[in-house]
Amino acid sequence: MDFKPCVNIRKEWDIVGARQLGREKAKEIGFGTVDQARIATAISELARNIYLYAGTGKICFEIVDDFEHKGLQIIAVDEGPGIRDISQVMEDGYTTSGGLGAGLPGVKRLMDHFDIISEVGEGTEIRASKWVR
């Protein structure tokens, strides 16, 4: 496996760092401006969740290039409290920002593939990928 570039999230300004690195990767792979903006927004949401709910964690990037897809995977990992009811969290309108379309359902919309693994008391790992068209 490749060495994965990561950004540690400890304070709010680290969100900007994660966006920056993600955008660079996205540009490198060949995403257009619209998709770059979408990827950056998804990173913001994931990084802000780490900052708000887990305190600390990291955002890593993995370039995907196999037979099927070419694209970017964002991996958000923390050892925070975990998410008890993932289905509920993924329902539109559940987020505290309800009605603004953001939050985890928003990340799922912005990206092409989305997956959460979370254990209460252990932490959360969210993977979200987007393919170059």
Partner 1 sequence: MENTKLDLDNYRSLLKEYLLTKNETALYQAEQFSKLSMQHNISPEEIIHVHIEALKELYPDLTQEVNDSLNFLLEAMISYGLAYQEFQTLREKQSELQSEISVAASMQQTLLSTVKPEIKGLDIGAISVPANQMSGDYYHFVTDKEDDTLGIAIADVIGKGIPAALAMSMIKYSMDSFPENQRNPSAILENLNRVVERNVDPSMFITMFYGLYNPGNETFSYASAGHEPGFYYHGDQDEFEEIEARGLVLGATDQATYRQFERKIKKNDCIILLTDGVTECRIGDRFIERDEILQVIKKYIQLPAQEAVEQVYKHFERLQEFQFRDDFTLIIIRKEV
Ligand X SMILES: Nc1ncnc2c1ncn2[C@@H]1O[C@H](COP(=O)(O)OP(=O)(O)O)[C@@H](O)[C@H]1O
Instruction: Name the site residues for ligand X (rule: CB under 6 A).
Output: 45, 49-50, 53-54, 78, 80-83, 89, 95-97, 103-104, 124
Is residue 30 close enough to count as binding partner 1 by CB under 8 A?
Answer: no
- For partner 1, the closer of residues 57 and 106 by Cβ is 106
Is residue 88 close enough to count as binding partner 1 by CB under 8 A?
Answer: no
Q: What per-residue string of b and e applies to 87-115 under the rule 16 or more CB within 10 Å gives b?
A: eebbeeeebeeeeeebbbbbbbebbeebe
Is residue 49 close enough to count as binding Mg ion by CB under 5 A?
Answer: yes
Count of residues that bind partner 1 according to CB under 8 A: 18
Identify the bridge partners of residue 131 per DSSP, sorted by sequence position.
71
Q: What are the angstrom distances between the C-alpha of 113 and each of 17, 90, 127? A: 23, 14, 8
Identify the bridge partners of residue 127 per DSSP, sorted by sequence position.
75, 115
- For partner 1, the closer of residues 30 and 101 by Cβ is 101
| 61 Cβ contact list (under 8 Å, min separation 6) | 4, 5, 6, 21, 22, 25, 72, 73, 74, 75
- For Mg ion, the closer of residues 103 and 123 by Cβ is 103
Can you give the binding site for Mg ion, defined by CB under 5 A? Answer: 49, 103
Can you give the binding site for partner 1, defined by CB under 8 A? Answer: 32-34, 37-38, 40-41, 92-93, 99-102, 105-106, 109-110, 133
